[in-house]
Structure 1
Amino acid sequence: MLERSHLMVVREVERQGSLTGAADVLNITQSALSHTVKKLEQQLGTPVWTREGRSMRLTQAGQYLLGLANRLLPQFEHAEARMKQYAQGERGTLRIGMECHPCYQWLLKVVSPYLARWPDVDVDVKQRFQFGGIGALFGYDIDVLVTPDPLMKPGLRFQPVFDYEQVLVVADGHALANEPYVTPAHLSSEVLITYPVETDRLDIYTQFLTPANIVPRRHKVIETTDIMLQMVASGRGVAALPRWLAEEYAESMPLTPLRLGKKGIAKQIFLGTREADDAIDYLSAFVALARDAEWAEARFRA
């Protein structure tokens, strides 16, 4: 009774806000779409929309169908794209979502040899994924999620890739540069530069500042690592980054990485995938390559 085409109608009418707009996108006439809508509601025995002039608002039943459409239709579209790739002699496209801003440089070191080993697989990286990474995996928007904060859910698998230490990065001439480690109180007079991520997802807050009831003098957001560390090197602020990344930049810039607290902050990077995709060889090969010690360059040093 309920067909894929019905879900497509529900999703598109909601997106466009009217039958006219939905009909244009679906490439059918408005009268044909009106007939489909009427027939669907008759078959279901309940209204799916309420009409408000030319606009249409989903009923409770309609909201349920919309949720179903948003879950199922991306899977159909993903499957069709994959079948098309198979038909063209391609293996597919590996879509990677990044919840770890500074991991882009690490990812480049994995992607390069991966592409060499799998010439018939393309890679698409969603670096600005912000964010609902778990929903993106379930919704088939991505195939792999790179994250330091896995959320264990039935149907998903998270595998640790490497360990690292989160450190504070300051300019070589900064007053803290010679300290053996920094305390939360040290940051109360500092400009803290971070990526554009909510503070409740930033380790420097959740594992360091917030438990101590400390806030920095100012919190500044910068999207790119290069500009962030240029600002730090020029004395415009401090930043929290993985030690391996800080040390890599410190080879060419006047930067000093400092331990956060006496014991430091230990973290891990995980790769999240769908359990249903375990049999996909090129996906499992990517995870295996990423976990190889050759690419996990930096380990947390106690």
Structure 2
Amino acid sequence: MLERNHLHIIKEVNRLKSVTAAAESLNLSQSAVSHTIAKLERRFGVKLWHRKGNTLVYSQAGLYLLSLADKMVTEFEHAERVLQEFAQGRRGIMRIGMECHPCEQWLMGKIQQFLKAWPEVDVEIKSAFRFDGIAALKANEIDVLITPDPVNTEGLNFRSVFNYNLCIVVSEQNPLYNKAFVTAQDLENQILYTVPVGYNRLDVYTRFLDPANVQPKRRVPIESTEMMLQLVSANRGVAVLPEWLVSSHESRLGIKGISIGNKGLQKSVNVGVRDDDLQLDYVKGFIESTRSNV
């Protein structure tokens, strides 16, 4: 059987023009090298070279294996480096899932820095898990989850990378427009647009409306952030969105973000990964690249 060490020997013998020198270069004895080549020659019934004075002359079989060695030894060495990079987290494929549309918009402002720093890591954005990211991360369908709602789950690790405030988005035609902050009672007569998740995952309910025993006129779940903003702009209702996202659309759409309560409603963007992947350099690099402010 032709093996990698055969190609190494053939390449070194050609480079150094000597079996003895090749053996020394490969940290082998001369007899070990001669025995390895002789065994290969017997196995296939060919001679790889013969001596002509002090010169080694390659046979056709020897020249074929030499051309193969020139290509394959380099490929093997490259493959070893690549495998080491995989093991060290310098190379790989990182599949990123997001649990909300604002998370995707936030990521687009961050990803360029990571892509430049980690050219050997391919990035895939998986939007199919937008509202079921925890299950996808546990099932190895994604490698990183961007979420505003981390869940304490065995085997998963979440890091907060960006803090922000939620706000109530209103049209300039809405009576709430000139208020410094909204109270729970202010929302009783408002249609409230939210992302399509359960009530237990909506902070505007669990931390604001429910404690005050107040419900909006109607809640309408909407997946598209842009659609929410358009509906608010048309004064069809109000929406709950991150303050940082709304600020870039205020003048264009005639809308404004108002603080939820007089102290605001703080949230954070979190990066979730499996515990086993935390040691990968590119995972650590991604988390670090997302920590700066928007």
Other structure's SS at 1:223 match? coil
Q: Where do 5+ consecutive residues of structure 2 fail to align?
A: 1-81
Q: Does 1:164 align with 2:164?
A: yes
- Please give the alpha-carbon distance, in whole angstroms, between the structure 2 residues aligned to 1:136 and 1:234: 36
- Residue 259 of structure 2: aligned partner: 259
Alignment of 1:276-291 (within 5 A): 276-291=276-291
Please say if 1:175 is aligned against 2:175: yes
Taking the aligned partners of 2:227 and 2:131, their CA distance within structure 1 comes to 22
Paired amino acid for 1:233: S
The aligned runs of 1:1-302 (5 Å cut-off) are 91-129=91-129, 131-291=131-291, 293=292, 296-297=293-294
Q: What one-letter code is carried by the residue in structure 1 that aligns with 2:278?
A: D
Deviation track 1:189-248 (CA, whole Å, cap 9, x = no partner) reads 111111222222111111111222211112222221111101101111100111111112
Name the SS for the 1:252 alignment partner. Answer: helix
**Equivalents in 2 of 1:143, 1:160: separation in Å?**
17
Q: Which of these two proteins has the greater Rg computed from alpha carbons?
A: 2
**How far apart are the structure 1 equivalents of 2:264 and 2:128?**
28
Equivalents in 2 of 1:228, 1:269: separation in Å? 20
CA distance 1:251–1:287, change in 2 (3 Å): farther
Give 1:75's aligned residue. Answer: none
> Which deviates further from its counterpart, 197-206 or 129-138?
129-138
* TM-score, normalization by structure 1: 0.64
Which segment is superposed worse, 203-212 or 181-190? 203-212
Does 223-232 or 123-132 show the bigger shift?
Answer: 123-132
Query: Contact conserved, 2:168 with 2:239, CA < 8 A, in 1?
Result: yes
Rounded to whole Å, the distance in 2 between the matches of 1:128 and 1:201 is: 19
Q: Counterparts of 2:200 and 2:217 in 1: how far apart (Å)? A: 18
Task: Provide the rounded CA distance (Å) in 2 between the counterparts of 1:281 and 1:259.
Answer: 39
Secondary structure in 2 aligned to 1:256?
strand
Shift of 1:166: 0.7
Whole-angstrom CA distance in 1 between matches of 2:132 and 2:252: 35
CA contact (8 A) 2:100 2:130 kept: no
Moved more, 216-225 or 150-159: 150-159
Q: Residues 221 and 153 from structure 1, CA distance in 2 versus in 1: closer, same or farther, beyond 3 angstroms?
A: closer
Distance apart, 1:164 and its partner CA: 0.5
Do 2:100 and 2:131's aligned partners in 1 also have CA atoms closer than 8 Å? no
Deviation at 1:140, TM superposition (A): 1.2
| AA at the equivalent of 1:230 | Q
**Larger CA deviation: 216-225 vs 131-140:** 131-140
Q: Which runs of 5+ in 1 are unaligned?
A: 1-81, 298-302
**Residue of structure 2 equivalent to 1:56:** none
- Aligned residues between the structures: 209
Shift of 1:110: 1.3
Please report how far the alpha carbon of residue 167 of structure 1 lies from its aligned counterpart in structure 2 after TM superposition.
Answer: 0.6
- Quote the offset at 1:161 in angstroms: 0.4
Amino acid at match of 2:274: R
Letter in 1 for 2:149: D
Q: Separation in 2 of the partners of 1:215 and 1:245?
A: 25
Instruction: Give distance in 2, aligned partners of 1:271 and 1:105.
Output: 15
Change (3 A) 1:258 1:128: farther
Residues 23-43 of structure 1 show CA distances to partners (whole Å, capped at 9, x for unaligned) of xxxxxxxxxxxxxxxxxxxxx
- Structure 1 residue 131: deviation in Å? 4.1
Please name the residue that 2:47 is paired with: none
Equivalent position SS for 1:160: strand
Partner SS for 2:271: strand
Match in the other structure for 2:53: none
Letter in 2 for 1:161: V
Matched letter for residue 184 of structure 1: A
Q: State the AA in 2 paired with 1:165.
A: N
Aligned Cα RMSD in Å? 2.1
Q: Calculate percent identity across the aligned residue pairs.
A: 43
Distance in 1 between residues matched to 2:205 and 2:189, nearest whole Å: 15
Q: What is the TM-score with the length of structure 2 in the denominator?
A: 0.66
Q: Deviations over 1:95-123 (max 9, x none)?
A: 11212331211100112222222222221
